[in-house]
Amino acid sequence: MKYVALALLLTATAHAQLPQIRITSVFPAGAQRGTTTDVTVTAGTDLDEASELVFNHPGLKATAKLDGNGNPIANQFTVSVGSAIEPGLYDVRTRGLFGISNPRIFRVDTLPEVQEKEPNNADAQAQEIAINTIVNARSNGAADVDVFKVSAKAGQTIVIRSEAAVLDSLMQPVLELFDDEGNRVAHSRRRKQQDAVIVHTSAKDQSLLLKIHDTVYGGSNDYGYRISIDTRPLVDFVQPQIVQAAADVNVTVFGRHIPDGQPTELTLDGAPLLKKEVTIKTLDAKQRGVGTDSSATSIDSVLWSGIDGNLVPLAVRSEAVATIIEAEVAEGAQSVSLPTAIAGSFAAELDEDAYRFEAKKGEQWQIDVLAHRLGNNSDPLLVVEQITVAEDKTETAKRLAREEDNKQNPGGANLPTLTSDPSFLLTAPEDGLYQVRIRDRYAASRGNPALTYTVSITKPTPDFEVVVFESLPSADGKAPPTTGAISLRKGGTYEVPVYAYRSGGHNADITLQVEGLPEGITAAPAKISAGQSSTMLVFTAAAAVGEIFAPVKIVGTSTGAEKTIEHTAKITTLVHVGANGLPRTARVTGSLLVSVMKDEEPFTIEPAIAEATVTQDQQLLIPVKVTRRAGFDAKVDIAFVGQPGNVDVPKLAIEKGQDSAVARFFFKENAGVGPATLLMYATAAVPYSRNPWQLERAKADVAAATEKLAAEQKSLDASKAAVTAGQAKVTELAAMLKTYDTDLKAVQAEQAKVQTELKTAIAGKAEASKQLLALQVQLNKAAANTNPENEDLDAAIKAVQDATLALTEASKPVVALVEKINGINAQIAEKTKLVDAKTKQIADANAAMKTHQDAVAKATAAVTAAEAALKVHTAAKAAADAAAKKAEAAAKPKNLNARTIATPVQLHVNTTPGKLAAAVPGGGAIKKGASIDVKVTLTRKNNFAGPVKVALALPDGVTSVASTTAEIPADQAEATIKLTAAGDATPADIANAVIRATAEFNGHVANFDVPVALKVTE
């Protein structure tokens, strides 16, 4: 947390507190055991960075729900419910930037569950629900009516039970059931602590419509409820309601739709009640008290879930309980033996029950009525009478007490601890017969067997119960605390009210001890002093402690004359401050958690002393130091609470730039005697910066988004350049290919021409060779005719010669053609090489073109991807900018009211043995280096007769005036002391100077003072 010392902010009026996480609802508010479900924190304050759900049972576990990118979804969690966990009520909290929240109820049951599906506000939109299903729903807004359809068989009995009161909900459900002809066949509404329920047997196979709305048609996320539509039994009440812990106990359950239940003569809402005896296995009130009303914290109570679908309130005692059942007596009263507990009910209008017992003179009997504390709607009135029987058997009843509400209300206006259950401590005035009469406050207009009560009459035993109110103090300390939890800021403090119920005449000190505190968190010593019913427990977090949370236990210990009593404190939380027609309501929680958040406390104050013993007529000076953090330097106002009556209390402030001040208390001669706890509250307007770490992260996100955006732009530019270069290369290669193709065609044409010439030469050579061959034949023929006798010889010779000549001439073109053919073949070989080279050149160019075309395609795809990425990163940058702007707005310092409490100072005020008067000459002016004589007169009081020593007492560090010490002997009342100003004293007024008397009185040293005005002058 950062604080900005801005003068402008400091001059503004602070209206709000520093943030602290709180929740008012989760949805769904329960789940079937052995399943996993998604749960959302749907309403609360200061939910910044809520990262965990914390349960008070290891069988309930939660993980953050993630989106498609693996990032946590705000305020959403996946909850796993163990298969072995018992049905019932459990605490769920959330943890975030601003600490650990208050708890809300999470219900575990045994049936499959579904969620309401909107719209379901009209008959045609009715959501169909299978029997033996639980629906998690809520009244979403004003005038919301939820409609459900249920298919029932002829003769089938269904139980429709709502749960809202037990869920910490503002919802007050009204249930209306309609048959398939539109007739309303059943109706029920929430009554005080009891939720609405309907038991209905269908007359035929049909679809029933169930309509549900809030009693005043209210609605929001805080109006959640659960509807179970099932065939499970319904328990209306049990007898007895007081059972022994750590033992198996038999009780009789009364209700409707009880399998194997025995018929009774009782009816409820027109339906006959059945009864069945069941055995309750060992109960532990410490484990099952979650959800019980804060008014029941004077007793150990549980919500028993041993009959599926029901939560039955029971009182639990460590000792065996001999409970008898009310017997309807035609006339007179039912006789009982003491001690006893009697279970009864106001079964009819004007019903009044009376019980008689014998008691000896001086005997004390504690008479307690339990109804409200056990969740019953009855409101008993208690009358205690002494019965005198005359010789003629005529009876006279003398009223000893008429009790209505219980007289103990330790929580006062803060925690609802007042109960309508009456009690009375009877001290029998004589041996004889006594009677208690019980009747309902509204007996004239109501009566039914479920209006139950239990009367307990036992010997009073000194005892107590300690109750911790886990809460958030108000911003100014004037309003009552509200819903909250112990979430400390680093270096800060946190106050928690602790209350005590006392019973059986207990009136001793109750010392409080906090067990299980983690390193870095401490708790100041605290006790509830004798005769008192409350104190304040103050926790402190070290400045360097990390973000932690841990469960702790508070134990109250009281040592009396006979034994030491120790009890673990019950923990309570405020459910709501009073809304929707409901009163301020609180309940018992399963654990107390302490946590330290990331924030720093802007300032803390600390008194220089932790305890002080003073006397009436004595001055007490308490130096107070302020520790300022993160630049906070404004004025701090300090107020005091808890001091005894008739004490002058200072108006104290530590001014801007100062780090300390001195608080002056003067305990007048009639100041209250005894122990007291002095509380110091410091208040200042603080320029508070909310979640600056979010702004830091947002700025880092903006920087990262900017960097990624630049990188993507660079990538896009590179891809575009690659496309341009690739396209240019492809164009160049295409031109080269065109040239290569033209060259190849020319070479191929030349090659074809030479090949044609070669063919012609070869043909000419063949023809010349043919002619040459013919001439050769002719020559050979002529040569054959050279016979001289041959008359044709000459002719033959000439023919040979001619043939030879012709052959020679014919051979010449053949030779030339051969030479030409050889030349052409050489040309063809060359042209073939050139064709091959050109072909390869074209192939290489085509391959290069393919490569560059692929590169262009890849670069083009890269451009497309880069453009898409650029859009994404542009959007991300815009989102980061928006988030940074929002974070900056949130982190902008706002003037809030910070109020902190100091470690308490334990005071004990003793009776004074006397009163002083002082005659100071010259108005108390003493010149430097000079002296004055002061006459001191003593008036002894309270039977004090001893000697007294008197002297000047100055605040610590003041040495400008010295004093002699004088003794007033036991038989005298006056003495004179000399006051001397130091020669080097600085001329100034001396504040808080007193002349102090010291004496031994009642076994201790008593100091008592008279203030004097002194001034050093030149």
Decide if pLDDT at 791 tops 60: no
User: Does residue 811 fall inside a structural domain?
Assistant: yes
> In 441-490, at which residue ranges do the beta strands (DSSP E only) sit?
452-458, 463-472, 482-483, 486-490
Task: Please check whether residues 748 and 817 belong to one and the same domain.
Answer: yes
Task: Please check whether residues 98 and 179 belong to one and the same domain.
Answer: no
pLDDT in tens, 611-635: 999 999 999 999 999 999 988 999 9
User: Does residue 519 fall inside a structural domain?
Assistant: no
pLDDT at 786: 53
Task: Please check whether residues 143 and 58 belong to one and the same domain.
Answer: no
User: Does residue 83 fall inside a structural domain?
Assistant: yes
User: Does residue 470 fall inside a structural domain?
Assistant: no
pLDDT at 8: 31
Task: Please check whether residues 128 and 86 belong to one and the same domain.
Answer: no
pLDDT in tens, 214-270: 999 999 999 999 999 999 999 999 999 999 888 889 999 999 999 999 999 999 988
Residues 6+ apart with CB under 8 A from 883: 698, 701
Task: Please check whether residues 385 and 454 belong to one and the same domain.
Answer: yes
Q: Name the domain boundary from 460, 483, 512.
A: 460
pLDDT in tens, 265-307: 999 988 999 999 999 987 765 667 899 999 999 999 999 999 9
Indicate the pTM of the whole model: 0.86
pLDDT at 287: 60
Task: Please check whether residues 413 and 340 belong to one and the same domain.
Answer: yes
Q: 447 with 348: CB under 8 angstroms? A: yes
Structural domains of the chain, count: 5
Task: Please check whether residues 888 and 777 belong to one and the same domain.
Answer: yes
pLDDT mean over 979-983: 96
Of residues 268, 270, 269, the one with CA closest to residue 254: 268
The overall average pLDDT reported for the chain is 91
Of residues 417, 470, 588, the one with CA closest to residue 22: 470
User: Does residue 961 fall inside a structural domain?
Assistant: yes
Using 50, 70 and 90 to split pLDDT, how confident is the model at 768?
low
User: Does residue 610 fall inside a structural domain?
Assistant: no
Task: Please check whether residues 30 and 163 belong to one and the same domain.
Answer: no
Task: Please check whether residues 332 and 397 belong to one and the same domain.
Answer: yes
Q: Which CATH number is 279's domain given?
A: 2.60.120.380
* Beta pairing, strands 925-927 & 1014-1017: parallel
Q: Which CATH number is 1006's domain given?
A: 2.60.40.150
Q: Name the domain boundary from 460, 479, 504.
A: 460
pLDDT at 901: 97
Task: Please check whether residues 944 and 853 belong to one and the same domain.
Answer: no
Torsion, CA 213, CA 216, CA 222, CA 224, rounded to 10: -20
Using 50, 70 and 90 to split pLDDT, how confident is the model at 722?
confident
Using 50, 70 and 90 to split pLDDT, how confident is the model at 10?
very low
Residue numbers of the domain that contains 749: 696-892
Chain centroid to CA 649: 39
Task: Please check whether residues 131 and 98 belong to one and the same domain.
Answer: no
Decide if pLDDT at 398 tops 70: yes
Task: Please check whether residues 853 and 993 belong to one and the same domain.
Answer: no
pLDDT at 192: 65
Number of other residues whose CB lies within 10 A of the CB of residue 955: 15
Decide if pLDDT at 797 tops 70: no
Q: Name the domain boundary from 230, 257, 286.
A: 230
CA dist., res. 434 & res. 425, Å (int): 13
Please give the share of the chain, as a percent, with pLDDT higher than 90.
73
User: Does residue 528 fall inside a structural domain?
Assistant: no
Q: Which CATH number is 829's domain given?
A: 1.10.287
- DSSP for 98-162 reads TEEPPPEEEEEESS-EEE--S---SGGGPEE--SSEEEEEE--STT--EEEEEEE-TT-EEEEEE
User: Does residue 585 fall inside a structural domain?
Assistant: no
pLDDT at 27: 98
**DSSP classification of residue 866:** H
pLDDT at 475: 86
